[in-house]
Amino acid sequence: MSSVNKVSIEATCTTPFPVAPLAAGSAEGPSVLFVDQSGQLGGAELSLLPLVTMLATRREVLLLTDGPFRQRLESMDVTVHLTIDDRVARINKDAVHLSWLFALPGIVRQIQAIARHARRFDILFLNTQKALVLGALGKPLHRRKIVWHLRDIMSPDHFGPLQRLVVKWATRYAVDYIVANSHATAAALADLIKCDPSAVPVVYNGVDAGEFDQVDDQRTKEVRRLLNLADDTRLVGLFGRIAPWKGQHVAIDALAQIPGLHLVLVGSALFGEQAYEKSLREQAVRLGIEDRVHFAGFQDDMPQWMRAVDMVLHTSTVAEPFGRVIIEGMAAGRPVIAAAAGGVVEILQHHENGWLVSPGDATALAEAIEALYADPGLAQRLAAKGLINVKRDFSLNAYIAQMNKVIRGIEY
Ligand code: UDP
Ligand code: GLC
């Protein structure tokens, strides 16, 4: 399913993104500086984690904000550097406006810091967009080959014109290699930079299904006890950071349509969406279902929490770039009901290995949940197929092997 092929370069595409055959570098491969804008444990960071430890013998990480991601990396013996600027950190996709002007001194400092560190390595691996822009702007200073791991859908639904313009510039003039996390993200970028989508290599995220196999009944019962629920209470789960576009409000609306069902929201407002979290609690009270909506906060043990629910929901209201929680739900052996847009439809096929609904449609979501409770045989078939597919198409080993091929293929 994943395609890391030698790319064809269209005449209209000014930037080729090759995945070359193995370069004749040193036996241990190139040294890599990884840069990520976030210190939080979001999907982009959790997905980078195994790459940092597995792709290069000499590697360090530079973060633009501090947080549990740094601690996680350091616990794995990875050297982490921080270059933090509050004003740059405040520039986000909702508040780009002119905030970058005030942040200019900080931007310059971070560009210089990235370049200074990058000069000690063969390759600069940019994870997330702020890292891309700052790493790209500093290219005349560091002159290192740049790899960008694209994890966002660069469409007007997700990003403003200024952000799209800057990314277009950076991609065209500074990025040497690119890896997209789905064909959806590859296609949106290709559209932005006027390039054939096949010129953007895709590597899907992977998970270790073995970690999910190891969860026994005792551990899932622990979760139920924490939530004060009986072992046979009907419980569905929505996993991921709390953010308006992740659509937790859609799941709460669906829950209100199904008497007796409980919903656990696992995740926290990682990037300042506390007002949205408050609105979710108010929504549950307004609908009179606050005793059936459980806010579990951020949890480290995803296998344990996922195996404690009957079904895994995914409710993003705009196209999800990839959606690690979906492959994790499949690895947990649970039927996954997901919003059909973006990378999701590359993972799930309706009534084959999961159930797809229109994004934002709470009634369709409620109907899907009821249908699967009404037909346990179908629920079981979808979950079993999902588990087979995740082991075959979205394994951690395949992800690392394909990314390794990308890194080893770089001529530096
Ligand atoms: N996650 C976690 N603890 C939580 C909630 C989420 O570890 O309490 C992890 C989840 O297992 C998944 C990641 O956060 O690996 C979310 O990634 P996804 O690609 O689904 O969404 P993103 O947040 O990157 O948009
Ligand atoms: C980003 C995307 C998410 C994807 C993750 C890992 O955070 O929002 O959809 O799964 O990166 O690539």
Give 190-218 pLDDT, tens digit per residue.
Answer: 999 999 999 999 999 999 999 999 999 99
Specify whether 216 is located in the same domain as 349. yes
Q: Which of 16-20, 30-34, 154-158, 173-177 has the lowest mean pLDDT?
A: 16-20
Four-CA torsion 40, 45, 50, 52, nearest 10 degrees? -90
Provide the CATH number for the domain around residue 78: 3.40.50.2000
Which ligand is located closest to the Cα atom of residue 158? Answer: 2
Task: Give, for ligand 1, the residue of 241, 270, 322 to mutate: max count of ligand atoms closer than 8 Å to Cβ.
Answer: 241
Which pLDDT tens digit goes with each residue over 112-122?
Answer: 999 999 999 99
pLDDT of residue 26: 52
Give the distance, in angstroms, between the CA of residue 290 and the centroid of all CA atoms in the same chain.
29
Strand duo 145-150 + 123-127: pairing: parallel
| Distance, CA of 92 to CA of 321 (rounded, Å) | 17
Please tell me whether residues 142 and 158 are part of one structural domain.
yes
What's the rounded Cα separation, in Å, for the pair 98 and 181?
Answer: 30
Cβ–ligand 1 contact at 328 (below 6 Å): yes
Considering the chain, what percentage of its residues have pLDDT values greater than 90? 82
- The preferred substitution site among 46, 205, 246 for testing ligand 1, maximizing ligand atoms within 8 Å of CB, is 46
CA of 47 to the centre of ligand 2 (A): 8
Residue range 309-330, pLDDT digits in tens:
999 999 999 999 999 999 999 9
Residue 167 lies in a domain: yes
In the reported structure, the alpha carbon of residue 171 is separated from the centroid of ligand 2 by a whole-number distance in angstroms of: 19
Q: What does 385-402 look like in DSSP terms, one character per residue?
A: HHHHHHHHHSBHHHHHHH
Q: What is the pLDDT of residues 279-319, one digit of tens each?
A: 999 999 999 999 999 999 999 999 999 999 999 999 999 99
Which residue has a Cα nearest atom 8 of ligand 2?
321
Spatial contact of 358 and 290, defined as CB atoms under 8 Å apart: no
Helices marked H in 119-160:
129-137, 139-142
Same domain? For 119 and 251 the reply is no
Where does the pLDDT of residue 86 fall: very low under 50, low under 70, confident under 90, or very high at 90 and above? confident
Q: What is the pLDDT of residue 87?
A: 85
Q: Tell me which residue has tokens 């990235």.
A: 114
Pick from 321, 324, 246, 318: nearest CA to 280: 246
Query: Do 388 and 265 reside in the same domain of the chain?
Result: yes
The contacts of residue 371 (CB under 8 Å, 6+ apart) are 355, 378
Residues spanned by the domain of 327? 209-393
C-beta of 183 in contact with ligand 2 (< 6 A): no
One domain, residues 195 and 296: no
Residue nearest to atom 13 of ligand 1 (CA): 43
Query: In this structure, which amino acid lies at residue 235?
Result: L
Range name among 19-23, 52-56, 93-97 with the lowest pLDDT average:
19-23
* Phi, psi of 335, rounded to the nearest 5 degrees: -65, 135
> pLDDT, tens digit, for every residue of 215-261?
999 999 999 999 999 999 999 999 999 999 999 999 999 999 999 99
Whole-prediction pTM: 0.93
